[in-house]
């Protein structure tokens, strides 16, 4: 069950790396988050620890419900919801993610922890989305993907106290909120959310 | 006490006779050029005439022109008392070469400033050139001091001439440094090839240009001072480099020999200057400036000769 | 007791702007609150000097000399900045630049920001430190984008993205770090005081990776080059009080968190070489910022680069690791906070008078705004390390340390960077203060007298620091040094 | 008493403190009148405060007995002098040169900081006594390191070539009373520091240290005086001349260091005495000349000597003082420059006979030649500055209508002029005292002989004065019944009242420009526009060929490094990841 879910996460994330339409990326992201939430719930079921339940529930509530709402809200105001000119085009993006994931798996070959491997894959894709895309909203999704990777790490590595874990997830939510508000303002002031306009400050 | 008295006397002798020597120099030059020339005591007449005249002063002139000639004369008279002439001992405490050399700087600074004082074009030109030449000639003085110090381990001219008086055989370095010093004398005293003391042509004059606006007693002081200065320089040359024959004991015969030797050497030097001045033309300022690097390298050769040979 | 008091105080301060409509009252409450915070800090300092270290709430809060230093910085800058904000926000509202609502939002966020910083300094839980840092990102993101315009939004966006990524990386590092100690008591594992004392972890390899991740990740927040790119944008666009707070305190605090991990890492056999991370990134920061300072058109940006440079100095001092350099680094963090706040606040005054951040538009400040000009020059002298300001001693002790440890190349590099920064600062500030265009008559501006109280307060604090440098302050810093160097 | 407060009280410090105080008093009196001019535009309190701070910090530097205290005062001295240099901030060039000065002085400060750090490393202490105790046993490498750092550190402050470029910029920019203090005193403070490091701490430096100092000193002297010779700005000329004198002092110090190496302690003491005496003398006459330049500036409003001329009529007192200063700087006896010049030349000449290494002899001799040439050039330069400014006819209206000089300014100048004569005539006694101390310092076992015949110079002076007076009397007698005609200067029949028939400043130094032009990058352009117009330009070749390339490199690097901040967030993010990967590789592979 967990392995299947991890597979879902990997597949979805690789899809994310090349898709141009922002809406589609968002949907894939929802899938991914849902899978992560389910993993956490499943682990909770297996081990019977409250931590996992809470984590899973929080993930689902924030990343599957609230954050997509924020994203959609900002998407609705956009004129163009498609990445027009990518810094790295879709084709190469796929290949790049493949190569990077291969390398990272190679480095981690001694470990049998699939959470970590998947988590690293998520990091790579998140980073790719942030570095190779121009739309602010894609960058935000990239960041959230990155954060999903962190959640996987968290699941695998440690057991923390409840308050702290709640704090972490809550902050993730807040961050998404902040980004959403900013995208709203950016769209209003710049009339676009393309980061190409973000070049006033240099030197 | 009697030594000191004699020092003063020999110095006063030089003082009194310096115009005479200038007259002899002029006479020599005239003879060499093939005309009769004025009498050898003509400079006394000239000086006397100047002293009698009233002064004409530029309305631009300042305290430099007022005190300058007097200080110049005073300085050159003072220097006379700091050199041995026909008699020397080791006891003497005055006579440091540094003071002599630097005392001439007093004369130099006043001449140069007098040139600038009267706001004429010639004066400025003369001052500029004089400063330039004396700047280039400065290292030659160093050679003199260095070499004499190496030879005698002393800076006192009395001691130097005392120690050098029994040298009869002069080595190469000695001769070379002497030549550089002679060049230095020519430069410092405004003689050909650096300057022509006889003409008042604007292109050739330096010393004369600076004192162009002086007259009467002022000119008297300056002229006399320049006579004395030349003779003092020649005395340094004679008693520093070729003091042979100078009296080292206070006996009549020694003093007589010393006197005769001194007069002979001085006349020989004057003849040398006369020969140079009649055979060489005054050269362009920058041509004569080229003489200095040549002399400097000569001096370096001389000093290194001492150490390597 | 004090912690609870602090908590209540913050609760009040945060709630006030939400309840009260009156901006003046809010400002006053904030000033009052910061005064209380300062007094509590002083009280805590006195306590700690007696007990060496304190802990509260099942060791969730832990206070030692290192904490004290941070507390001192936070609370002293806080009071200066809140006094400054009082007039600043009112002025902005009067000029119709911002609405009343935004003014209240400012206080809300500002107090939250301070809360998070004090939280970071006090907490003993390493994940809680991270949470605090993340919290500062959240609050300052809005503060940076406070004047909603193109530039500020751009800088805010960059800030949020870059810093959250950095903090994310840092979090991964923390996870791995904690995992490296997973054999220990689960209840204690997140406690710094426990980790610092505990025996070796299972895998030093993992700790190595973890510390690198933490260093690079949190280094982003601390503004170490080449992760500093958000910093000049953010500091130049944020309102001046916020810039002062961020530059003087926040960067320092991020470094403090790294330092906490470093103290743990350092004691593990074979890992003391991680100090080279500090040295290398410190030198990089120094190099990049010092060259960047040479050609700036915007004076707030210049100050931001100088912050990068000073953080580089602090990191270098920590990295060299001998007692004298660590002392220098800690002293420098203190004086840099004060000096940089002085400069940023003065810059804020100039900005509100001239309405431009461009260096070439401002001339002859000594004629137009003499008071601010004097503070600007004094601040410049503090930052470039002219004696008798403590910055001279801190910078010098780092030179001594590098020479003593035999890293002559670093000495040369460090001196070169100091020189470049000096040249850059001098060129700009002398130009601003003294340069007079021919034919222009300069009138004294009325605005000069506005808002100079916090500046003089800041300078008085610096003077106080000079006076106490050989006494109480140095003993406190020495205690902190012994925590780091042990 | 002083040591109670943690201050040094050995003779070296006391001597230099005396120099500071000796110069400060007349300058302070002078300042009282001089600042009236500034009342309109600038704050006077500010200047007075800074001057007091400046002087106090200099005394602090000299008396410091601890490296840290030394550095603190050193830096305060630098900053206060910087703010004094830019005191007249309404002129843009002043700001520029002030900034340049401060940067150079900061370089000096940094070198010194590193030097004291090294001393701390080697001895474990900042305390001078402790350092002096332990530094004798340094290995040659350690001595080299400390020496080189001291050379650059103090050298940048003294203005030795190639670090001299700030001198001719900062001195003209500063108000004249400040330039007097800076040139007269501050440079001496740097010399003090250098002496303390290389003679008190290191004592026996390796041979090449001395050789380096000698060569650098000589080059500084000749290079700066040739540059100064071609300047028409009085204060710039004086600034270059300061660098020249520093070069001379430095050369004497280098000579002394070489001689110590050959164990010729007596001669070494002579050279050191020469350096110390010249420090005093230069302090006095250079301050005097700067104050005079200040008076000229005050009265006429210009520093350019081509606009001046004939000031002796209206500023009689100033011109006499300047004349005295000029005589002193040209080493004319019995003024004070003479004594130290003689000592320097003497130590050069004597060491030639004593050292037994041919190459060192050749080095010393060639340096001696250059030093002699330098003194000639110094004569040329100062005569130019005095003659063109004060003698002849006013060249422009500025020199025609001069403001009267306040009394306090005249008093200040007068005191210094008096000092110039007093220290000149009584120099043998000063030398005696100094040589006692220098011999003590260098541990010579023999009894020090007197370096100069004490009676001789006094006899000379007395004779000179008496003979002058006699001639003066005779002159009075002679000219009693003769009329003195006062006329315009004869100008070959042209209008003699035209001031432009006089030699100008640049004309005066033209011969030197022709010969040494390449050394000073001298360029002349003649253009025809209604009348013939000649424009001249000199620039510092070291500035052109050393400073500018360095600035270019810095500029290039700045451009490259600034392009890091390209403005693209994606790029910024990739920096983070690249540095993360590199840091990981570094940590895992290398640490």
- Residue D110: helix, strand or coil by DSSP? helix
Question: The tokens of A120 are what?
Answer: 């690293």
- Count of pairs with CB atoms under 8 A, one residue in C, one in D: 149
B63-66: long-range contacts (C-beta < 8 A, 24 or more apart)?
Answer: B63/D312, B63/D316, B63/D319, B63/D320, B64/B110, B64/B113, B64/B114, B64/B117, B64/D312, B64/D323, B64/D391, B65/B114, B65/B117, B65/B118, B65/B213, B65/B214, B65/B218
Which DSSP symbol is given to D492?
A: T
Name the band, by pLDDT with cuts 50, 70 and 90, for residue D457.
confident
Low-confidence winner among A166-170, B72-76, B177-181, C384-388 (lowest mean pLDDT):
A166-170
Name the band, by pLDDT with cuts 50, 70 and 90, for residue B59.
confident
Whether A160 and C127 lie within 8 Å, measured CB to CB: yes
What is the predicted pLDDT for the residue at B245?
Answer: 84
Nearest to A126 by CA among A108, A141, A106: A141
What is the predicted pLDDT for the residue at D445?
Answer: 66
Position D297 pLDDT exceeds 70: yes
**Angle formed by the axes of helices D454-478 and D427-441, nearest 10°:** 160
> CB contact, 8 Å: A129 with chain D?
no
Q: What is the mean pLDDT of residues D396-407?
A: 88
Among the partner-chain residues C162, C209, C276, the one whose CB lies closest to the CB of D584 is C209
Interface test with A, best of C147, C152, C154, C163 (most A CBs within 10 A): C154
> How many distinct structural domains can be found in chain C?
1
Contact C421, C309 (CB under 8 A): yes
What is the predicted pLDDT for the residue at C420?
Answer: 94
Question: The tokens of D182 are what?
Answer: 């800076």
Interface test with D, best of B115, B120, B292 (most D CBs within 10 A): B120
Position A200 pLDDT exceeds 80: no
Residues in chain D: 591
* Cis bond upstream, residue A170 (ω within 30): no
Domain ranges of chain B: 2-308
What is the predicted pLDDT for the residue at A80?
Answer: 67
Report the gap between the CA of C87 and the closest CA in chain D (Å): 31
- Count of pairs with CB atoms under 8 A, one residue in B, one in D: 237
> CB contact, 8 Å: A61 with chain C?
no
- Count of pairs with CB atoms under 8 A, one residue in A, one in C: 100
Residue pLDDT, tens place only, C23-56: 888 999 999 999 999 999 998 888 887 777 888 8
| CB contacts, 8 Å: A146 with chain D | none
| Residue with the larger pLDDT of the pair C414 and D133 | C414
What is the predicted pLDDT for the residue at C403?
Answer: 94
Residue of B nearest to D314 (CA): B62
Report the gap between the CA of C237 and the closest CA in chain D (Å): 14
Whether C403 and D569 lie within 8 Å, measured CB to CB: no
User: Which stretch of DSSP H or E encloses residue C287?
Assistant: helix C275-293
Cα torsion through C461, C466, C472, C473, rounded to 10: 70
Domain-embedded: residue C366: yes
What is the predicted pLDDT for the residue at B202?
Answer: 65
β-sheet bridge partners, residue D127 = D66
Which DSSP symbol is given to D64?
A: B
- What is the C-alpha separation between D416 and D282, in angstroms, rounded? 11
Interface test with B, best of D359, D383, D506, D509 (most B CBs within 10 A): D383
- What is the C-alpha separation between D260 and D263, in angstroms, rounded? 5
Residues 6 or more apart whose CB falls under 8 angstroms from that of C263 comprise C196, C483, C484
Residues 6 or more apart whose CB falls under 8 angstroms from that of D478 comprise B51, B217
Strands B55-58 and D484-487: parallel
| CB contacts, 8 Å: B124 with chain D | 392, 502-503, 507-508
Low-confidence winner among B191-200, C140-149, D430-439, D517-526 (lowest mean pLDDT):
B191-200
What is the predicted pLDDT for the residue at A159?
Answer: 63
What is the predicted pLDDT for the residue at D449?
Answer: 64
Domain-embedded: residue C152: no
Domain-embedded: residue C248: no
Contact C283, C291 (CB under 8 A): no
| CB contacts, 8 Å: B286 with chain D | 511, 514-515
Q: Is D421 exposed, middle or buried (0-12, 13-18, 19+ CB in 10 A)?
A: middle
Q: What is the mean pLDDT of residues C430-447?
A: 88
What is the predicted pLDDT for the residue at C151?
Answer: 87
Position D311 pLDDT exceeds 50: yes
Position C68 pLDDT exceeds 70: yes
Q: What is the ipTM of this complex?
A: 0.91
Position C472 pLDDT exceeds 90: no
Low-confidence winner among A132-136, C342-346, C410-414, D444-448 (lowest mean pLDDT):
D444-448
Q: Structural domain of residue C312, as residue ranges? A: 296-486
Residue pLDDT, tens place only, D1-59: 444 455 667 889 999 999 999 999 999 999 999 988 888 888 899 999 999 999 999 99
Residue pLDDT, tens place only, B2-49: 777 888 888 898 899 999 999 999 999 999 988 888 899 999 999 999
Residues in chain B: 309
Among the partner-chain residues D565, D567, D574, the one whose CB lies closest to the CB of A131 is D574
What is the predicted pLDDT for the residue at D118?
Answer: 94
Whether C157 and A150 lie within 8 Å, measured CB to CB: no
Nearest to B212 by CA among B36, B33, B76, B57: B57
Residue pLDDT, tens place only, D120-132: 999 988 889 888 8
Among the partner-chain residues C229, C273, C392, the one whose CB lies closest to the CB of D572 is C229
Position D347 pLDDT exceeds 60: yes
Q: Is the dihedral of CA A85, A88, A93, A95 positive or negative?
A: positive
What is the predicted pLDDT for the residue at A158?
Answer: 62
Whether B286 and D460 lie within 8 Å, measured CB to CB: no
Strands C61-63 and D531-537: unpaired
Nearest to A38 by CA among A170, A122, A155: A155
pTM equals 0.93
- What is the C-alpha separation between C337 and C318, in angstroms, rounded? 17
Residue pLDDT, tens place only, D223-256: 999 999 989 899 999 999 999 999 999 999 999 9
What is the predicted pLDDT for the residue at A160?
Answer: 66
- Residue B231: helix, strand or coil by DSSP? helix
């Amino acid at each position: 069950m967990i392995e299947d879910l991890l597979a879902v996460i990997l597949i979805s994330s690789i899809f994310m790396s090349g898709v141009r339409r922002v809406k589609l990326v968002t949907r894939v992201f929802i899938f991914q988050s849902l899978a992560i939430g389910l993993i956490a719930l499943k682990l909770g079921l297996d081990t019977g620890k409250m931590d996992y339940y809470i984590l899973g529930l929080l993930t689902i509530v924030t990343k599957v419900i609230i954050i997509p709402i924020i994203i959609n809200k900002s998407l609705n105001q956009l004129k163009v919801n498609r990445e027009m000119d990518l810094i790295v085009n879709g084709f190469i993006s796929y290949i790049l993610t493949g190569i990077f994931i291969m390398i990272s798996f190679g480095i981690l070959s001694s470990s049998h922890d699939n959470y970590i491997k998947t988590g690293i894959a998520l990091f790579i894709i998140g980073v790719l989305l942030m570095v190779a895309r121009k739309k602010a909203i894609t960058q935000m999704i990239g960041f959230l993907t990155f954060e999903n990777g962190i959640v996987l790490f968290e699941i695998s590595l440690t057991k923390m106290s409840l308050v702290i874990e709640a704090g972490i997830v809550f902050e993730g939510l807040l961050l998404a909120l902040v980004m959403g508000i900013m995208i709203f303002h950016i769209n209003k002031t710049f009339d676009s959310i393309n980061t190409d306009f973000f070049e006033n400050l240099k030197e | 006490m009697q030594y000191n008295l004699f020092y003063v006397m020999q110095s006063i002798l030089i003082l009194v006779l310096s115009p005479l020597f200038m007259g002899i120099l002029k006479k020599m030059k005239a003879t060499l050029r093939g005309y009769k020339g004025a009498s050898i005591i003509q400079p006394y007449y000239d000086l006397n005439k100047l002293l009698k005249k009233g002064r004409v002063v530029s309305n631009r002139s300042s305290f430099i022109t007022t005190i300058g000639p007097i200080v110049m004369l005073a300085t050159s008279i003072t220097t006379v008392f700091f050199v041995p002439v026909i008699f020397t001992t080791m006891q003497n405490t005055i006579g440091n070469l540094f003071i002599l050399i630097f005392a001439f700087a007093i004369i130099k600074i006043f001449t140069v400033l007098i040139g600038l004082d009267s706001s004429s074009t010639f004066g400025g030109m003369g001052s500029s050139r004089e400063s330039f030449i004396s700047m280039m000639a400065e290292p030659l003085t160093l050679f003199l001091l260095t070499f004499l110090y190496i030879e005698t381990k002393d800076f006192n001219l009395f001691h130097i001439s005392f120690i050098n008086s029994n040298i009869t055989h002069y080595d190469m370095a000695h001769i070379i440094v002497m030549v550089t010093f002679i060049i230095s004398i020519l430069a410092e005293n405004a003689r050909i090839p650096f300057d022509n003391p006889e003409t008042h042509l604007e292109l050739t004059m330096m010393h004369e240009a600076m004192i162009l606006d002086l007259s009467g007693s002022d000119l008297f002081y300056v002229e006399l001072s320049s006579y004395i200065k030349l003779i003092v320089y020649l005395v340094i040359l004679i008693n520093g480099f070729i003091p042979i024959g100078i009296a080292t004991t206070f006996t009549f015969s020694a003093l007589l020999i010393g006197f005769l030797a001194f007069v002979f050497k001085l006349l020989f030097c004057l003849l040398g200057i006369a020969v140079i001045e009649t055979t060489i033309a005054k050269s362009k300022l920058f041509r004569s400036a080229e003489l200095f690097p040549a002399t400097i390298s000569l001096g370096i050769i001389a000093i290194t000769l001492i150490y390597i040979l | 007791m004090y912690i609870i008091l602090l908590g209540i105080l913050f609760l009040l301060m945060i709630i006030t702007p939400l309840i009260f409509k009156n901006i003046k009252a809010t400002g006053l409450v904030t000033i009052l609150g910061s005064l209380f915070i300062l007094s509590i800090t002083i009280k805590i300092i006195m306590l700690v000097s007696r007990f060496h270290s304190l802990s509260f709430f099942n060791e969730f809060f832990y206070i030692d000399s290192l904490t004290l230093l941070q507390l001192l910085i936070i609370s002293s800058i806080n009071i200066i900045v809140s006094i400054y904000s009082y007039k600043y926000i009112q002025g902005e509202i009067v000029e119709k630049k911002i609405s009343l609502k935004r003014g209240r939002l400012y206080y809300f966020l500002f107090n939250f920001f301070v809360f998070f910083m004090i939280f970071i300094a006090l907490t003993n839980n390493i994940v809680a430190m991270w949470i605090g840092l993340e919290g500062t990102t959240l609050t300052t993101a809005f503060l940076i984008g406070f004047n909603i315009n193109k530039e500020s939004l751009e800088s805010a966006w960059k800030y949020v993205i870059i810093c959250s990524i950095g903090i994310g990386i840092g979090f991964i590092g923390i996870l791995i770090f904690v995992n490296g100690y997973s054999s220990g008591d689960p209840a204690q594992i997140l406690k710094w005081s426990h980790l610092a004392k505990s025996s070796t972890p299972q895998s030093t390899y993992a700790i190595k990776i973890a510390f690198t991740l933490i260093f690079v990740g949190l280094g982003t927040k601390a503004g170490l080059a080449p992760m500093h790119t958000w910093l000049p944008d953010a500091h130049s666009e944020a309102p001046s009080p916020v810039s002062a707070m961020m530059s003087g305190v926040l960067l320092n605090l991020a470094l403090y968190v790294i330092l906490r991990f470093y103290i743990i890492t350092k004691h593990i056999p074979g890992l003391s070489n991680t100090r080279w991370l500090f040295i290398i990134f410190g030198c990089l920061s120094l190099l990049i910022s010092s060259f960047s300072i040479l050609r700036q058109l915007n004076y707030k940006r210049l100050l931001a680069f100088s912050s990068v440079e000073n953080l580089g100095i602090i990191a270098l001092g920590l990295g060299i690791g001998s007692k004298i350099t660590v002392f220098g680094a800690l002293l420098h963090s203190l004086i840099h906070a004060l000096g940089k706040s002085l400069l940023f606040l003065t810059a804020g005054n100039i900005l509100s008078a001239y309405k431009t951040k461009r260096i070439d538009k401002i001339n002859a400040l000594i004629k137009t705004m003499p008071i601010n000009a004097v503070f600007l020059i004094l601040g410049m002298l503090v930052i470039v390390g002219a004696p008798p300001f403590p910055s001279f001693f801190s910078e010098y002790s780092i030179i001594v340390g590098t020479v003593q440890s035999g890293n002559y190349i670093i000495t040369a590099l460090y001196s070169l960077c100091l020189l470049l920064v000096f040249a850059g600062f001098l060129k700009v500030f002398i130009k601003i203060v003294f340069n007079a265009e021919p034919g222009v008559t300069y009138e004294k501006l009325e605005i000069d007298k506005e808002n100079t109280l916090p500046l003089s307060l800041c300078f008085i604090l610096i003077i106080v620091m000079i006076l106490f440098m050989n006494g109480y302050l140095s003993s406190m810093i020495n205690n902190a040094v012994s925590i780091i160097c042990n | 008493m002083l040591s109670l407060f943690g201050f040094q009280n050995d003779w070296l410090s006391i001597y230099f403190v005396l120099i500071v105080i000796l110069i400060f008093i007349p300058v302070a009196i002078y300042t009282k009148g001089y600042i009236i001019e500034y009342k309109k535009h600038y704050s006077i309190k500010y200047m007075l405060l800074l001057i007091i701070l400046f002087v106090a910090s200099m005394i602090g530097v000299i008396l410091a007995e601890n490296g840290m205290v030394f550095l603190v005062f050193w830096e305060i001295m630098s900053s206060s002098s910087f703010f004094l240099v830019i005191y007249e901030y309404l002129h843009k060039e002043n700001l520029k040169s002030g900034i340049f000065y401060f940067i150079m002085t900061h370089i000096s400060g940094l070198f010194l900081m590193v030097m004291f750090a090294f001393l701390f490393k080697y001895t474990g202490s900042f305390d001078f006594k402790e350092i002096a105790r332990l530094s004798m046993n340094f290995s040659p490498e350690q001595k080299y390191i400390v020496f080189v750092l001291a050379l650059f550190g103090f050298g940048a402050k003294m203005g030795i070539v190639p670090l001299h470029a700030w001198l001719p910029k900062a001195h003209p920019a500063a108000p004249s009373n400040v330039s007097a203090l800076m040139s007269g005193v501050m440079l001496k403070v740097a010399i003090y520091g250098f002496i303390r490091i290389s003679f008190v701490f290191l004592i026996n430096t390796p041979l090449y240290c001395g050789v380096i100092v000698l060569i650098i000193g000589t080059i500084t002297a000749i290079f700066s005086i040739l540059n100064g010779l071609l300047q028409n700005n009085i204060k710039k000329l004086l600034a270059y001349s300061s660098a020249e004198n520093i070069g001379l002092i430095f050369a004497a110090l280098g000579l002394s260091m070489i001689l110590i190496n050959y164990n010729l302690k007596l001669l070494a003491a002579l050279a050191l005495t020469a350096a110390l005496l010249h420090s005093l003398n230069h302090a006095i006459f250079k301050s005097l000349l700067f104050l005079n330049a200040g008076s000229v500036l005050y009265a006429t409003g210009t520093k350019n000597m081509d606009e001046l001329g004939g000031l002796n009529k209206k500023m009689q007192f100033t011109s006499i003082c300047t004349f005295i200063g000029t005589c002193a700087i040209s080493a004319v006896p019995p003024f004070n420059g003479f004594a130290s010049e003689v000592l320097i030349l003497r130590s050069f000449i004597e060491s030639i006979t004593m050292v037994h290494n041919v190459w060192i002899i050749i080095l010393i001799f060639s340096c001696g030649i250059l030093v002699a040439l330098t003194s000639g050039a110094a004569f040329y330069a100062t005569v130019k500055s005095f003659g063109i400014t004060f003698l002849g006819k006013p060249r422009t209206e500025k020199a025609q209508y001069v403001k009267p000089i306040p009394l306090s300014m005249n008093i200040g100048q007068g005191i210094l002029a008096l000092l110039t004569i007093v220290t000149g005539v009584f120099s043998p006694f000063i030398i005696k005292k100094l040589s006692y101390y220098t011999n003590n310092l260098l541990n010579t076992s023999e009894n020090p002989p007197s370096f100069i015949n004490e009676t001789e110079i006094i006899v000379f002076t007395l004779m000179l004065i008496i003979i002058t007076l006699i001639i003066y009397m005779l002159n009075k007698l002679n000219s009693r019944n003769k009329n003195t005609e006062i006329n315009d200067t004869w100008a070959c029949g042209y209008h003699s009242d035209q001031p432009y028939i006089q030699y100008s400043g640049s004309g005066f130094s033209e011969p030197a420009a022709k010969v040494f032009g390449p050394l000073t990058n001298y360029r002349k352009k003649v253009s025809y526009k209604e009348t013939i117009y000649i424009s001249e330009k000199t620039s510092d070749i070291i500035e052109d060929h050393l400073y500018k390339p360095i600035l270019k490199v810095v500029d290039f690097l700045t451009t490259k490094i600034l392009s890091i901040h390209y403005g693209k967030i994606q790029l910024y993010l990739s920096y983070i990841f690249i540095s993360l990967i590199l840091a990981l590789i570094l940590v895992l592979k290398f640490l």
